[in-house]
Amino acid sequence: MSGLDEGLAHLVEGSMDGFLRLSGYKPCGLKGMYGVRSGAAPVVRAAGGLADAVAEFVFVPDGVDGMVDAKDAVPEVYRQPDRWRMLQRAGMRQDFFRDVSAAT
């Protein structure tokens, strides 16, 4: 199998509780958007659109310590079911469609 299977990618993203995204530069942050829309909590590097799409677990570009701190915060929130569901629902309510983002 070669190339990207978009359907499979969305199934995998939809089955995750969270994911770690280590982009050096991502102008639009699609993977972060896909993650939050499916209820996953992305841990992302504050780069491009990822910083705009993800609010909870964002780390600054310089150094590994920020990534480790953000990653380590996830299980702490996950062990609080009400807070975790609130985080998931907040992400799934985000509207990334062009007509909404163009109006802001």
**pLDDT tens per residue, range 42-83:** 777 776 666 666 667 777 766 678 778 878 888 888 899 998
In terms of pTM, does the model score above 0.85? no
Token pair in block for residue 63:
């150094």
Q: Report the pLDDT value the prediction gives residue 82, as an integer from 0 to 100.
A: 94
Residue with tokens 């990822």: 50
Whole-Å CA distances, 32 to 2, 14, 80: 24, 12, 22
Please state the rounded mean pLDDT for residues 17-36.
70
Tokens of 82: 């009400």
All domains in the chain, ordered by first residue: 17-94 (3.40.50.2000)
Sheet of strand 57-59, all strands in order from the earlier edge strand to the far edge: 18-21, 41-45, 57-59
Cβ(34)–Cβ(13) below 8 Å: yes
Long-range Cβ contact pairs of 4-9 (< 8 A, separation 24 or more) = 9/34
The pair phi, psi for residue 26, each rounded to 5°, is -135, 105
